[in-house]
Amino acid sequence: MEKNILEVKNLTKIYSNNKEKTGIFDLNFDVKKGSFHAFIGENGAGKTTTIKTIIGSYINFSGNVTINGIDIRNYKSRQALGYIPENAIFPKELTVLEYLRYLGQLFGSDKKELDIKIDNLLKEFEIEELKNKKPFYFSSGQKKKILLIQALLNEPEIIILDEPAANLDPTARFQLFHLLKKLHQKGITIFISSHILSEIDKFVDSLTLIHKGEIVYSGLRYTDLETIFYEKVIKV
């Protein structure tokens, strides 16, 4: 039986205003270890709220989320987690090496081993020449590669990506998904949120579809994502 690397049970986080309650309501889904899992839904459906809860950015919620069986309220759960946000924000004054060194040392990595790891990842991603330059001034595609390297520093078992192809040109998008495919082939679980269903369709093997803060489908990808979205959201 395949092991779940991510389990979400009865997850609820509500935002209240004068007119209505929004947020996510009693979410239940899981992600199998080693899968390439799509997390899809319309704008405002609750994708980013769910992701930020999973990565530990929110503490005011009800329900339970575990990574490798460890509750996300326990910081040790994040030792298996890499996260890539939609927008990259880098300090103006830091070079790639300084930035990655700083983050790597937060995980307690040995400085010498960390430098070797950074060099290897820069080489693998074909951006060695950027090592001593400042990512604040990079293109969107270059910034996304630095975020990928950042996410890999602690050798995660699952990488969560929130709209990773946003603002990327066609070449950068191709390179991004080529890298994600290679990481998946190494056994890393990929959990990806995207609006462009056709772009991720050929990579994913399973999905969770959220609509108006509720899960309407979670399981294997039995047909193309656009058809599933139509059946579960538009047609009903």
Whole-number pLDDT of residue 18? 61
Whole-number pLDDT of residue 20? 78
- The total of structural domains in the chain comes to 1
For the stretch 149-170, pLDDT in tens is 999 998 999 999 999 988 888 9
Q: Are 104 and 117 in contact (CB under 8 A)?
A: yes
Q: Are 61 and 13 in contact (CB under 8 A)?
A: yes
Whole-number pLDDT of residue 106? 81
Name the residue range of residue 162's domain: 4-234
For the stretch 199-223, pLDDT in tens is 999 999 999 999 999 999 999 999 9
From the list 179, 222, 62, 71, the residue with the least C-alpha distance to 192 is 179
Q: How does pLDDT run along the chain (236 residues), one tens digit per residue?
A: 579 999 999 999 998 776 778 899 999 999 999 999 999 999 889 999 999 999 999 988 999 999 999 999 998 998 899 999 988 889 999 999 999 999 988 877 788 899 999 999 999 999 999 999 999 999 999 999 999 999 999 899 999 999 998 888 899 899 999 999 999 999 999 999 998 899 999 999 999 999 999 999 999 999 999 999 999 999 86
Stated pTM of the model: 0.93
CATH number at residue 193: 3.40.50.300
Whole-number pLDDT of residue 88? 81
- Written as one string, the DSSP assignment of 137-191 is GS-HHHHHHHHHHHHHTT--SEEEEESTTTT--HHHHHHHHHHHHHHHHTT-EEE
From the list 56, 51, 48, the residue with the least C-alpha distance to 31 is 51
